[in-house]
Amino acid sequence: GAVVSQHPSWVICKSGTSVKIECRSLDFQATTMFWYRQFPKQSLMLMATSNEGSKATYEQGVEKDKFLINHASLTLSTLTVTSAHPEDSSFYICSARDLADTQYFGPGTRLTVL
């Protein structure tokens, strides 16, 4: 089956630093990947759509300069949280879309900003 990985699985950083999260589709190519964040006991909130070879599309209210997305290849998208603050602490999940338009999710990255 389709497998999506994320790295790291958890990260703790100091306020003001930047953190990069990687999302990889391991056994299929994904021209489109998605980045979500999830707060405790809530559903997934779409942050942005990552398109291979072009700029990401951000959802309303998501700061593109704070959440930098790069989709460098058909199997890799990265999310960089710049100048992280405690309110950015959350569970970040990526997904990758296959040719049948089905999204497969990564295992998530727990970000804690001190």
Partner 1 sequence: GQQLNQSPQSMFIQEGEDVSMNCTSSSIFNTWLWYKQDPGEGPVLLIALYKAGELTSNGRLTAQFGITRKDSFLNISASIPSDVGIYFCAGLRETSGSRLTFGEGTQLTVNP
User: For residues 109 and 11, is the Cβ–Cβ distance under 8 A?
Assistant: yes
- The yes or no reply on residue 107 touching partner 1 (CB under 8 A) is yes
Stretch that binds partner 1, among 11-19, 41-49, 67-75, 78-86 (CB under 8 A): 41-49
Can residue 34 be called a binding residue for partner 1 (CB under 8 A)? yes
- How many residues in the shown chain lie near partner 1 by CB under 8 A? 23
In the DSSP assignment, the letter for residue 88 is G
Nearer to partner 1, 16 or 107 (CB): 107
User: Considering only 13-21, 68-76, 82-90, 93-101, which stretch makes contact with partner 1 by CB under 8 A?
Assistant: 93-101
Whether the Cβ atoms of residue 1 and residue 28 lie closer than 8 Å to each other: no
For residues 42 and 36, is the Cβ–Cβ distance under 8 A?
no
Going by C-alpha positions, the residue among 32, 38, 37 that lies closest to residue 53 is 32
Check residue 32 for interaction with partner 1 (CB under 8 A).
yes
Candidates 93, 64, 98; CA nearest to 81 is 64
Q: Which residues pair with 111 in a beta bridge?
A: 11, 90
Of residues 51-90, those binding partner 1 (CB under 8 A): none
Contact set with partner 1 (CB under 8 A): 4, 6, 32, 34, 42-44, 46, 49, 91, 93, 95, 97, 100-108, 110
